[in-house]
Structure formats: C-alpha cells, structure tokens
Amino acid sequence: MAAPRNLALWNYCGRRWSRAMRGCQQLGLRSSWPGASLSARLLSQEKRATETHFGFETVSEEEKGGKVYQVFESVAKKYDVMNDMMSLGIHRLWKDLLLWKMRPLPGTQLLDVAGGTGLAWVLGDAEELPFDDDKFDIYTIAFGIRNVTHIDQALQEAHRVLKPGGRFLCLEFSQVNNPLISRLYDLYSFQVIPVLGEVIAGDWKSYQYLVESIRRFPSQEEFKEMIEDAGFHKVTYESLTSGIVAIHSAFKL
C-alpha cells in the first residue's frame, strides 16, 4: 500500500504559498534460501538507505512524513503561543529580519513554503512542487526545511521553480557558536521546552521532537554546501542570536 508523501501546505501571497511534509515507500524482501547472502546484503543496504531520522529516533522514510504531520496537527492550536513562550517573542524579530532581507516589491512572485501568511493556499509536497519551472522571484521557507525527509530534493525543487536571478531565503534553527551559550541552550532546550509543551499545549512528545530535530539539522557551513550542491550561487548566511537560528540566502543564476 502506498505511503502518504510528505504533506505540504503552500501559501501564495501576491503569488505566495506554504508547506509541511511527506515521505516515500520502498518495499524490501528477505530471502532465506542458500546462496542468497549477496541478495540479502543488497536488500539490507537498500533498507538502510530508506531509513531516516525523526528527531533522535531512526524511522523509515515512509513513516517520517506521517510522524511530522502528526506533530504539527498536535501543536497547531497553541503554535503561536508556544513560539512566543519558547523564544520570549524573539522569533518575531527573526521573521521581521527575513522579510526585511526579502524586500518584495508589488508584483513579486513569492513562494512561501512551510508556513507563513498569505492570500491563497495550496496543499503539496516540498520535494515535488506543483509549479512550473522558472516561475517565482523569491522562495522562502522558515522553520520548515529541517522537517523534510529529503532536504537535498527540496533544495533542488526550490532551484527549479525560481526564475533565473530569483532568490532563495531560508530561516532555520542552526548551530550555536558560543560554548557557554551552547551549554545553557541545551539545558533550556531539553529541560524546559518539553515541559512548556506539556503545560501549555498538553504535548511533551512534539516539543521533544522539536528540540531533537534542531540538533539533527546541519550546521551553517554544512547547510551552505547543500544549497550550493542544489545549483545555487552567491550562497551566504547570517547567524542570529549566537547562532540559535541563521538566515541563508542564495541566487539562481
């Protein structure tokens, strides 16, 4: 039976959209007849290749999309309140800075993937965008790309749908660059955030996943290389709040 793909919501503002997730299904068989060791090894390698992470947990790719979807279904009603509580409201400043860097003009074709506000919405898959090539002037994604099953595919799709000269902007949690702040941040993340999730949203597990997914996301330099590998040029990033988050910028030339 086919598995649900990474569900995605899109928000089309002035031509702008947003997204969430899906995963794929690959079936493997095991053989017990003599002489099948090579086949077994190949199937074992294929099985490992279809595994991914959900926070610190290892899951199959077909499972991850559904798990991520359940997390956001669970936290939706208290999402904004929890963001304010967890970041002491600083997340709003991070998003304002992203908008300032974007500087959209009237008529800008803007694709906002994985959240945000806008006028029209489309349900789709960040790894298979339902849009033509060379369509958008700007692609933005805030606090969403770390939840995608195949980040490289999402980046390639971002590159595909942007016009030549179009800009990619990503706001995402990143790697803290100060050792003292890093220790305090870990303490706060693992000891306080899940408790807040339980008290405010009645959901410990979703916020435990949030913390773990942040720790699994590539560092600023590693993510920069992934963006370059997707075909983008002039890739830069700016770390904010000691690297708790970073804004990555790139262009399709």
Cα–Cα distance for residue pair 166/45, rounded to 1 Å: 38
On whether residue 39 sits in a domain, the answer given is no
Cα–Cα distance for residue pair 127/148, rounded to 1 Å: 8
Q: Which residues of 172-211 are buried (b: 16+ CB within 10 A; e: fewer)?
A: bbbbbeeeeeeeebeeebeeebbebbeeebebeebbbbbb
pLDDT digits (tens, 9 = 90+) for 109-158: 999 998 655 577 888 889 999 999 999 999 999 999 998 989 999 999 99
User: What rounded mean pLDDT belongs to the chain?
Assistant: 79
Annotated binding site for S-adenosyl-L-methionine: 117, 125-126
Token code pair at residue 181: 């702040």
pLDDT at 182 over 90: yes
pLDDT digits (tens, 9 = 90+) for 34-91: 333 444 333 344 444 588 766 656 767 777 667 666 666 666 777 788 888 899 999 9
Predicted confidence at residue 29, as pLDDT, reads: 24
Cα–Cα distance for residue pair 233/247, rounded to 1 Å: 15
On whether residue 36 sits in a domain, the answer given is no
pLDDT at 5 over 50: no
Q: Which of 187, 153, 128, 182 is nearest to 52 (CA)?
A: 153
User: What is the percent of the chain where pLDDT is above 70?
Assistant: 72
Cβ proximity of 155 and 129 under 8 Å: no
DSSP letter at 12 equals: E
CATH code for the domain of 243: 3.40.50.150
Domain count of the fold of the chain: 1
Annotated binding site: 117, 125-126
Cα–Cα distance for residue pair 155/151, rounded to 1 Å: 6
On whether residue 32 sits in a domain, the answer given is no
Cα–Cα distance for residue pair 128/146, rounded to 1 Å: 16
Residue range(s) defining the domain that contains residue 243? 52-252
- Indicate the burial class of 104 (C-beta count within 10 angstroms; 0-12, 13-18, 19 or more): middle
- Indicate the burial class of 29 (C-beta count within 10 angstroms; 0-12, 13-18, 19 or more): exposed
On whether residue 152 sits in a domain, the answer given is yes
On whether residue 5 sits in a domain, the answer given is no
Predicted confidence at residue 82, as pLDDT, reads: 85
On whether residue 90 sits in a domain, the answer given is yes
On whether residue 8 sits in a domain, the answer given is no
On whether residue 29 sits in a domain, the answer given is no
